[in-house]
A and B are shown apart, each in its own frame.
Chain A
Amino acid sequence: MALFKLTVNGKERQVDVEADTPLLWVLRDSLHLVGTKYGCGVAQCGACTVHMNGAAVRSCILPVSAVKSPITTIEGLSENGDHPVQQAWDEVDVPQCGYCQAGQMMTAAAFLKTNPKPTLEEVASAMHGNLCRCGAYHRIREAVLVASKKK
């Protein structure tokens, strides 16, 4: 066990865990930020996606010892749940079971920063790594496009 300092959603946090503990389990078990989900543990489903220094990363394979930059989770994506992506997700009424949606939105938010006006095909490529077992892909894709049209 060792002490690690992290910046999560703008706050300094300190956790006492083993160095190989994936960020996902630090967030969920140590910090009780459970919006970030476990789906596969091998970076294949995207449910655990968070931002590190603004870029989308898979927290399930990222050891806490490798986290050197600020982390943003779904709980910190916006103060009032009104990030353009969250607004778009609500407007398009995306969620079914909803379990994958935090990861989907984190991927989308990071993607739109690098490509603010994507085409439908670019959205599909960017979101291809995130599984939705309910098959809500049509609405997810539409919501990314709707978000891209917001300020």
Chain B
Amino acid sequence: MESTQQHTSRRDFLKWSTFTAGGLVLGFKWSGAEAQTAEVFAAAPSAAPVAMNHYLSIGTDGIVTIFSPNPELGQNILTSFPMIVADELDADWKQVKVLQAPFDKRFDRQLTGGSGAVPHSWPLLRKAGATARAMLIAAAAKRWGVPESECTASDSFVIHTPSGKKLGYGELATEAAAIPVPTTVKLKDKKDFKLIGTAVKNVANKDILTGKPLYGLDFYREGMLYAMIQRPPSFGTKVKSFDATAVKAMPGIIDVVQTQNGVAVVGKSTWQVMKAKKALKITYEKSGNIESSADHDRIFLEQLDHGKAVVKRQDGDVEAAFKNAAKVVKKDYQCPFLPHNPLEPMNFFAHVKEDGVELVGPCQIPGSARTAVSKLLNIPEDKITLELTRLGGGFGRRLYNDYVVEAAEVSSLVKAPVKLIWSREDDMMGGTYRSAMRYRFEAALDDKGNMIGYKLRGVGMNDNNTTREHNFPSGAIDNLLIETINNPTPITTGAWRAPVTNFLAYAEQAFIDEVAQAAGKDPVEFRLELLEKVKAKPVGRTDYNVNRMIDVTKRVAERSGWGKKKGVFQGFSVYYSHRSYVAQVAEVVLEKGKPVVKKIYAVADCGQVVNLGGAQQQVMGGIVDGMGHALYGKFTFKEGAAEQNNFHNYRLIRMKEIPEIDLFFVDSGFDPTGLGEPALPPTGGAVANAIFKATGKRMYSQPFLETDVFTSTSGKKTF
């Protein structure tokens, strides 16, 4: 098994496809964007991939090639996709090869986001593998003159069971191509999967571990120039004027040009451009509100108290429930803006030529990147090619194509091939952050501790959708009101791994924990009571499967010895997101009076696990990510500018801080659901609830390290 990065032009790509001449090539495509049926058809190799969404070829040498369109940013899609095909095909994994496809609008859902690739492509990939297998079996049966029913397939061979005769897939590929493509094929019983559900190594390991040029920042083209842009450091300002005289005289500097976003320095090497950028003399002028974090704190309260909210959901009579309540719990939770910080900073290569544009680099939605460049330069989309490199992380940042557009703009202005690079400081100060948010939760309890009313009002900075109103606990409470308020700000925002729920889940799960306390009930039992109520008779719409929610809750309680342990403090959390269910118990101890997270138990129901190794990485990485940002992610603004600009003053979680993780996947029998994101949302809540058990202090804001539990004990912060 190996992977190959395609650094080729569109023309080369078409030529490449002809190497399969003589073998079997299957194209397969969806009939609609979210349709559950896929058409599989045989294609002439030279025509591939015309009108195909993905494709699969079997060469006369027996090599099975699978073309994977989705951008790879560490979610391991380059390994998971071919595993699904190869399993249904009964291919020998050692003879399977995967290729990263360049952007082509004919590919289906060529993007990375929303934890959606495997759930979306699962039936398609299975059908493709099973179809090829059926055609290979038909070809062998024909050659032997035996019924197909007497034949089976294993490890890239078709076997005639009664006689023990066998033929390799390579030997059969050409004959298989002449077999009419079956319209219906039988998929495997899940119990017969050989690869799916096992741990298969990342197909790009060898290239990654030997330092091959896989990433956008590694891309090099003879004669290309390097470019960096100085953008206004403060949101709410724009460039007024600049003096580039001195900079233009610096070694290696070719040009200095104004762009839509700032002032671009173009030169012969990265270092020369980095130095020159710092030497630029730019004056800025006000173009909008110039805000500091203290302003945001004030705005949040004003909006929660008096803002005009959009009602997202209303059940029953909330005001009556609160009027009749024996007890009311009301708490606010707040989080800061957060930068994504993929370790590979933003970058893209662009070459704007007379007859079109060539783009190469890392992005999560290549289709929209191309559209944006087309609009900027007024060049038709079909004159623009885009090749995908591997992405050094994404976390949502590379869903936004500002840096792709910048690269094209600079190339167009200087009339040369350009690689545009953001420094880490550019990356951290340059916007598209996770929105800062504040939630106000209110719960009404009757005299028996039942939650009879529930209110949630969220305010998002540039976010008009701060709630997930059909998630738990909706469905469990008779009287409920969920509202959202958008507060516009010049600070740019965007999706960040598990958008909204990366904070909402913590806030909600921490709040429910506090409500359970007020009700005098065990936090797990309290949630199970609510879930049982949903199961018996849900109130209104529920987007989650209550049985799966109950199952992960009970399992994590059992695995963690919930409530039975001495010497550790446990906190529970459960959340449904991206179609999957993850429950967690965090264990905290006190060391020198301060809480330390020692262990996290996680039970995940993501339906069928495709690659066990990759799935473990997504969940464990999601937990580490969620815990790190909840504890350490301090990000503040002063007069419109981010006050943290690199890893010396912005803390990310490091190795000594990781907890032990006990992870269990539920075999629920469902098809695969999302996994790149769902493990992150519950982590902050589990940790916050464990810190409460240990210290008696609730965590009402992130990062936790800024709360007095961590700051007051010794009088100084640990960072």
Interface residues of A, Cβ cutoff 8 Å to B: 1, 17-18, 20-22, 25, 28-30, 32-42, 44-45, 47, 73-75, 81, 86, 89-90, 93, 95-102, 105, 123-125, 127-141
Contact = CB atoms under 8 A, between A and B. Distances in A.
Contacts of B656: 124-125, 128
A141 B655 contact: yes
Given A18-B251, A37-B344, A42-B646, 5 more contacts: A86-B210, A96-B76, A97-B74, A130-B654, A135-B620
Contacts of B345: 38-39
Nearest to B201: A93
Contacts of B215: 37, 99
- Interface residue tally on B, bucketed by range: 35 or more
B269 A128 contact: no
Nearest to A25: B271
Contacts of A1: 251
Contacts of B622: 135
Contact of B658 (A33, A47, A137): A137
Interface stretch (B118-126, B390-398, B517-525): B390-398
Q: Chain B interface mostly helix, strand, loop or mixed? A: loop
A39 B650 CA distance: 14
A81 B328 CA distance: 63
A139 B270 contact: no
B94 to A, nearest CB: 15
Interface stretch (B239-247, B486-494, B581-589, B623-631): B623-631
A86 B206 CA distance: 9
B220 A101 contact: no
Contact of A47 (B226, B251, B343, B620): B343
Interface string B365-393: 00000000000000000000000001111
Contacts of B391: 97
Nearest to A74: B211
B73 interface: yes
A93 B74 contact: no
Nearest to A30: B269
Interface in B624-649: 624-625, 628, 646-648
A128 B654 contact: yes
15 contacts: A28-B270, A34-B217, A37-B392, A39-B424, A42-B647, A86-B209, A86-B210, A93-B201, A93-B205, A93-B613, A95-B209, A97-B344, A101-B208, A124-B656, A135-B624
A41 B647 CA distance: 10
A95 B75 CA distance: 10
A34 B218 CA distance: 6
B621 interface: yes
A90 B213 contact: no
Given A74-B211, A97-B74, A105-B209, A40 B393 contact: no
B661 interface: yes
A34 B213 contact: yes
Interface in B189-209: 199, 201-202, 204-206, 208-209
Contact of B208 (A28, A32, A95, A127): A95
Task: Find the residue from B211, B345, B395 having the highest chain A CB count within 10 A.
Answer: B211
Q: What 9 A-B pairs come out closest when comparing CB atoms?
A: A35-B211, A135-B624, A97-B74, A99-B392, A74-B211, A44-B647, A96-B74, A98-B208, A135-B621
B499 interface: no
